[in-house]
Amino acid sequence: MHVFVTGATGFIGSAIVKELIATGHSVTGLVRSNANARILAQTGAKPHRGDLDDLDSLRRGAEGADGVIHTAFNHDFSTYRDNCAADRGIIAALGSVLAGSNRPLLVTSGIGILPAGSLLTEDVLPATGAAAHPRAASEQAAVALLDQGVNAGIVRLPPSVHGAGDHGFVPHLIATAKRTGVAAYIGDGANRWPAVHRFDAARLYRLALENAVPGARWHGVAEEGVGFRDIAALIARRLDLPLVSTGGAAAAAHFGWMSGFAAMDVPSSSAQTRAKLGWQPVETGLLADMEGSDYFAA
């Protein structure tokens, strides 16, 4: 299968590209710069110059593919709502050249958009209306494509996709602890983050593409819920800093834009995903990965 991958040189996308090539697929990856084109070419994939703002370039990339994996997203949280709205248009553009062909499109979403309060399964749907999470636009766009004859599916990723080179939430927590002089959690810290290693996530994307089911929702969850206090405690120990509880305005001041994520309690299951795809995570868990990789190297 020849696969078009957006975000092909990103933290998750680059792992997907290597997984696809290692299992006999060929890949064209979206790149914005000559430097990234060279990096991608070294993996054996073909660079496709374009940009998320250039919908024609996305359509051209998808036109020649047997399947599409969309992982690229603008993670500038100062313009988060606009970025989520833009992703809706990006998904529509990718799907427009796949309609009626049965060529699969995998869209990336997040466990964190789902309503909290119970163990979240693949069947749980995002809230709608005023309660809707902005990133739910990606799932809504994928579902809308089904009526257009597009074989669209959704991969939901947890708050922590970890591994060497991580530049997501955990590194931000470490940087915040260094800056403020304390490692903090909110309330009793009993809220839970599901997690997955990026190599396990990459295998899931491949299996979901090879076994594409229109409208399927897959959970890239290796650990159902890692306690946030446990994450903060590891950071405190490794940095030799106090471990403190915070809340309210103090939590907002400490965590900044990440305060909502720091309070997130979204334990989730991947039982259906594992049963239907035969996906079995094999990589190290989040806390062990934090202990043994380069999270505290700087």
Q: What is the pLDDT of residue 88?
A: 97
Question: Could you tell me if 246 and 180 are in contact, meaning their C-beta atoms sit under 8 angstroms apart?
Answer: no
pLDDT per position as a tens digit, 260-294: 999 999 999 999 999 999 999 999 999 999 998 79
Q: At 69, phi and psi to the nearest 5? A: -120, 120
Going by the DSSP 8-state scheme, the letter that residue 125 receives in this structure is P
Q: What is the pLDDT of residue 150?
A: 98
Long-range CB pairs of 111-116 (<8 Å, 24+ gap) are: 111/156, 111/157, 111/158, 111/159, 111/194, 111/219, 111/221, 111/266, 111/268, 112/158, 112/159, 112/261, 112/264, 112/266, 113/139, 114/156, 114/266, 114/268, 116/264, 116/265, 116/266
Q: What is the pLDDT of residue 129?
A: 86
> What is the biggest distance separating any 2 CA atoms in the chain, rounded to whole angstroms?
58
Q: What is the pLDDT of residue 36?
A: 96
Q: What is the pLDDT of residue 203?
A: 98
Residue showing tokens 């939430």: 169
Question: Could you tell me if 176 and 123 are in contact, meaning their C-beta atoms sit under 8 angstroms apart?
Answer: no
Average pLDDT over residues 219-227: 98
Question: Token digits for 55?
Answer: 């919908």
Look up the pTM and report it.
Answer: 0.97
Output Rg (C-alpha) for the chain, integer angstroms: 19
Average pLDDT over residues 61-77: 95
Q: What is the pLDDT of residue 293?
A: 76
Please, which pLDDT band fits residue 298 given cuts at 50, 70 and 90? low
Amino acid occupying residue 68: V
Please, which pLDDT band fits residue 117 given cuts at 50, 70 and 90? confident
Quick one: which H or E segment has residue 250? helix 248-255
Hey, where are the domains in the chain? 2-160+195-223, 164-193+226-266+284-292
Half-sphere exposure of 120 (CA within 13 A, CB side): 31
Assign residue 163 a region (left: φ > 0; alpha: ψ between -120 and 50; beta: otherwise): left
Q: What is the pLDDT of residue 297?
A: 87
CATH architecture, range 2-160+195-223: 3-Layer(aba) Sandwich (3.40)
Average pLDDT over residues 29-40: 96
Distance, in Å, from the CA atom of 3 to the CA atom of 17, rounded to the nearest integer, reads 9
Please, which pLDDT band fits residue 222 given cuts at 50, 70 and 90? very high
